Structure 1
Amino acid sequence: MSEKKLADLSKQMAAIDIAMLSTHTKSGEIAGRPMSNNGEVDYDGTSYYFTYEDANTVGEIEADPKVSLAFMGQKGFSVAVEGKAKLSRDKAEMKEHWSKDLDKWFKDGIDTPDIVMIQVDATRVHYWDGEDGGEIKL
């Protein structure tokens, strides 16, 4: 078992287009949904995603900010992230994390009505790379 650093994982995660974001529902179930992973950003333990105010995701994070992210890559590479989510409606913050790829979902960019940014700060990162695996605590 090798000890990968977060920077090593970041390079591999850049090739993954979609992450699964899981939250807890009001009745205690786990709800997952695909979110676009911005491969242009170096992963440093914090991820940013965008959604709409009326999405179940927003209410679920407000009720319980503990979330998980799952990334599935090529050749047995995968990452599971445990973390805490927070919501931002601040346009200046959104602009810092916006990429043009998001325009296909949000036609007016950060000026799209009712847009919300989800920030996930990792507390633990588990990875598997073929037969190699490990954990990074943040």
Structure 2
Amino acid sequence: MQDRPDIAELLEAVAAFLREQVVPATEGQVAFHARVAANTLDIVRREVQLGPVAQSNELARLHALLGPGAPSDLSEANRLLCARMAEGALDPATPGLLDHLRQTTRDKLAVDQPGYAAGTKKKED
């Protein structure tokens, strides 16, 4: 374990430097790429902060949906979920499936597009 600054703080500092120092001091393509780099660092920071818990929760939900023998690897479990949905073994009427898909989407949006994710709170369908 590292002392401060931690990974998230380092990423945040570099993103702030790009936004506050590089973008205003440049123009055109360099300024654009600095903004893109800062946004990329923000995504990486959120992935570091939110990703492990979200992935653990996703895998737990997948195990509940897929039952005994479900893969312990998240990618493999998702492939099995997709296969079962494609063959009709799981469908929107399957208890927990839609909730799982919604929560997984919210968790991914929280990393990639947090402003959008804030508007995706669970609503009555």
More strand, by proportion: 1
More helix, by proportion: 2
> Which TM-score tier does this pair reach, normalised by the shorter chain?
under 0.3
Return the TM-score normalized by structure 2: 0.21
